[in-house]
Amino acid sequence: MAGKKTSFLKKVIISIFLLILIGGGIGGYWAYLLVFQPNVKLEGKNAEYFYIHTNATFADVLKDLSEQHIIVNQASFERLAELKKYKMKVHPGRYRLHDRMSNNELINMLRAGIQEPVQITFNNIRTKEQLASRVGKRLEADSFQFLDLLNNKDFTIKYGFTKANILSIFIPNTYEMYWNTSSEEFMNRMAKEYKSFWNDKRKTQAKEINLSQSEVSVLASIVQAEQSRFNDEKAVIAGLYINRLKKGMALQSDPTLIYALGDFTINRVLNGDKDIDSPYNTYKYAGLPPGPICLPEISSLDAVLNYRKSNYIYMCAKEDFSGRHNFAETIEQHAIYAKRYREALDKHNIRR
């Protein structure tokens, strides 16, 4: 009798042990699936960017992951996020997701805020609106809010600029920053880059030619607008305009007139255009306009600081449409070059 009880007890113990093992195995397998099983599906793509906006909550993240069909099992992601306390550590940013990422990999990246920076390049920019649009396409910062800041007198004065010349603070280049950079943070970064560009050497050069840093930027923008293809001409053009400034002559730059007209499709400036009443009309008003007419490249800024000395007073685009210019010291020689160019425009039926 005792032997039967002992045998029965052993069976019970073994059964319980087996149940524990099975239960543990199931639990372990479930835990494995929860943590390590691939749960990111990118529909054939190896990688994709996922954006978390500033002030987003965990509920927002979960909703976006689900609606964008990024995660396969929402319940497992949510459960592990709770265990790893991600719900209280949501960081905004631009995150690079990889196909077949596990919940553990995804949550660890999001919780630590390990985002991938963006590269923002701004060149060929003429207006504040164009700049704001470019920034808004690359960063979370709202383009309209950014534009409002550029037109805010109290804001621009903090950086030592006016609403008219604030574009001088932007040195065209490629910059790396995080997607969730705010408008104010972006401006602070640009101010830092501006100060870095204007080192002691460049400051000294500006003083030697009797121009402020902003004036150098304005003149460089004109040089840039006149010559964006051949850098070797830029110093010559800069020298020509400095000659005019020294003589008190009007700059008579067609690009400033086009800027005043606001029509950048114009290929031929007409005499009637020169009547527009604008501080950017350098046919009507002598001296530099109040602000840059584009964002000058570093090569244009340095061309002004290192302008080539000459006796040139006049310039005209070459009639071969090469993008180069004929330079002249006298009005008589300039008239010859100008006639050739007008005839070339007529020949190619370029009326506007």
- Which ranges in the chain are annotated with CATH 3.30.1490? 47-112
The average pLDDT across 54-61 equals 96
Amino acid letter at 126?
R
| pLDDT (tens digit per residue) in 210-267 | 999 999 999 999 999 999 999 999 999 999 999 999 999 999 999 999 999 988 988 8
19 has pLDDT over 50: no
319 has pLDDT over 60: yes
Alpha helix segments (H runs only) across the chain:
2-35, 58-67, 74-83, 103-112, 128-138, 143-150, 153-157, 183-197, 200-208, 213-226, 231-247, 254-261, 298-305, 331-347
Q: In the 8-state DSSP scheme, what is residue 294?
A: S
DSSP of 162-174: -TTTGGGG---SE
pLDDT value of position 3: 54
Q: Residue 2's pLDDT band (boundaries 50, 70, 90)?
A: low
The answer, as to whether pTM is greater than 0.85, is no
- Nearest to 213, CA basis, from 92, 301, 135, 289: 301
- E strands, the chain, are 47-52, 93-98, 118-121, 174-177, 314-317, 325-328
| C-alpha distance across the termini of the chain, in Å | 116
| pLDDT (tens digit per residue) in 145-200 | 999 999 999 999 999 999 999 999 999 999 999 999 999 999 999 999 999 999 99
For the 47-112 domain, the top CATH level (class) is alpha beta
| Cα dist from 163 to 57, 167, 180, whole Å | 37, 8, 25
Task: Decide: residue 260, CB within 10 A, 0-12 exposed, 13-18 middle, 19+ buried.
Answer: buried
How many Å apart are CA 330 and CA 294, to the nearest integer? Answer: 29
90 has pLDDT over 90: yes
